[in-house]
Structure 1
Amino acid sequence: MRIHHLNFAALRKIPPVGGGEELAAVCHCLLVETDSDGLVLVDTGLGTADLRSPEERLGADWVAFAEPARDVAVSALQQVIRLGYAPQDVRHIVLTHLHRDHTGGLPDFPHAKVHVGETEYRAVTDSAAPHHRVSLERFMAAHRAHGPQLMPVVADEGADWFGFQGAARPQGMECELLLVPLPGHSAGHSGVAVREGEGQWLLHAGDAYMYHGEIEQTPPSSHPALDLIQEGAQTDVGARADTRDRLRALRREHGNQVTVFSAHDPWEFARFSK
């Protein structure tokens, strides 16, 4: 199995804490080459149509704040092609959650099975589910108009992954990839754990935290520009803070086995892109 760390959108530039050169916020995603399941995408960033017509597809207010670069070349579709693959080679997409900067590439891979946590799935499909209205608003109509093959991943309450309960393998997949509940940011936010070697895991924590200082520094240090995003999106402040603290403990106690990263921190992404 080979894992590619890729950035599927360049967003507004933000300065490092303490000053210095600005970097564009990223949409840090994974492309996983597997023997059993073809290509697997973990999150999809912004899609080709989003990058051509962002205001129309993503909303003018969001675009004014996020300032996405209108460069189709950074889309998942184009990067998959540059790696020598056909779009049809992407058989599975595993999502941390259903916000627009994570689902934009879905229309570029309409044939793929799309795996998402059961709570997140119900939030957009069941009008009686908690946070249904806001969840459906944030899962952009343009990203679901083609009828993506959404498949809920039911948490395995008996499973324990480094102290995180409920981790489960998406249905129909054989590779060592798990959806790990990391609640708080969205109705059913999850992380995606991928085994990259014997006893070694990557954990894509999505938007469970936004800045590496939140899990690497004591006391936790956040980024003011990224705080605005978190504060405007999180559905459960207490659960999100608890998730962050559990990720801090995971890194402290199992950092030799699990490498944790988030979706939008450009300094974190730079460590992997090198």
Structure 2
Amino acid sequence: MKVHHLNCGCMCPYGGALYDGFSKGLKAHLVCHCLLIETASHGLVLVDTGFGSEDLRPAGSRIATFFKIMNNIQYDRSLTALSQIQALGFNASDVRHIILTHLDFDHAGGLSDFPQAQIHLMQREIDTSRQRHSWLTRSRYRPGQWGATSGWVGYQAAGEKWFGFDAVTALKGLPLK
């Protein structure tokens, strides 16, 4: 097994260290951390997707205008998971599983770049994303990024907590080891 760290998006909000606690200068520099796991028998597993190819169109509407402006999103297609996976010599179809920590726009935007992958996430997050009653939830959860994808598997918490977080001990189609 080989694990790659991918930076799948860059946000440079104004405020520097006031925003993130350590940046020097006027702008902070935040990345969308994702992991790409090469498995011997189950293809590639992507943990979060960052911004997707369609998100990085400056005039696009997949990301709320408020967050585009507030986060000063950098439109660099080379930072998409798809672009980085291709640079490693793989194809989008090699990504067989995507594990999402949550469905916020900066974690799930790349789902549409991997339409054949099975998507794993907590059922509670799926349910929460459908409750778009407030401006904040409508801005955070952007069905335009992932609404047309299929192959979703929602999980209930099972097993021991991990550092206080709910845990899932097995994912459909993936080995425990």
CA distance change for structure 1 residues 159 and 36 in 2, over 3 Å: closer, same or farther? farther
> Residues 30-56 of structure 1: CA distance to partner in whole angstroms, max 9, x if unpaired?
011111321011111100110124652
Match in the other structure for 2:41: 36
The question of 1:150 aligning with 2:155 is answered no
Question: Could you tell me the TM-score, scaled by structure 1's length?
Answer: 0.56
Match in the other structure for 1:171: 172
Computed over aligned residues only, the root mean square deviation of the Cα atoms, in angstroms, reads 2.4
Question: Residue 104 of structure 1: which of 87, 103, 109 is its match?
Answer: 109
Shift of 1:18: 6.8
Match in the other structure for 1:159: 160
SS in 1 for 2:171: coil
1:226-237 matches, within 5 Å, as none
Match in the other structure for 1:20: 24
SS in 2 for 1:115: strand
- Higher relative contact order (CA closer than 8 Å, sequence separation 6+): 2
Mapped contact 1:6–1:28 kept (Cα < 8 A): yes
Percent of residue pairs identical:
36
Question: Could you tell me the TM-score, scaled by structure 2's length?
Answer: 0.84
Match in the other structure for 1:197: none
Mapped contact 1:31–1:39 kept (Cα < 8 A): yes
Structure 1, unpaired ranges of 5+: 126-130, 177-274
The question of 1:3 aligning with 2:3 is answered yes
Match in the other structure for 1:247: none
Rounded Cα–Cα distance in structure 2 between residues aligned with 1:175 and 1:54: 42
CA distance change for structure 1 residues 173 and 19 in 2, over 3 Å: closer, same or farther? closer
Specify which structure has the higher proportion of strand.
1
Shift of 1:159: 3.2
Which ranges of 4 or more aligned residues in structure 1 deviate by more than 4 Å?
160-165
CA distance change for structure 1 residues 172 and 65 in 2, over 3 Å: closer, same or farther? same
Rounded Cα–Cα distance in structure 2 between residues aligned with 1:65 and 1:80: 28
Rounded Cα–Cα distance in structure 2 between residues aligned with 1:121 and 1:113: 14
Residues paired across the two proteins, number: 170
CA distance change for structure 1 residues 160 and 123 in 2, over 3 Å: closer, same or farther? closer
Match in the other structure for 1:56: 61
The question of 1:72 aligning with 2:77 is answered yes
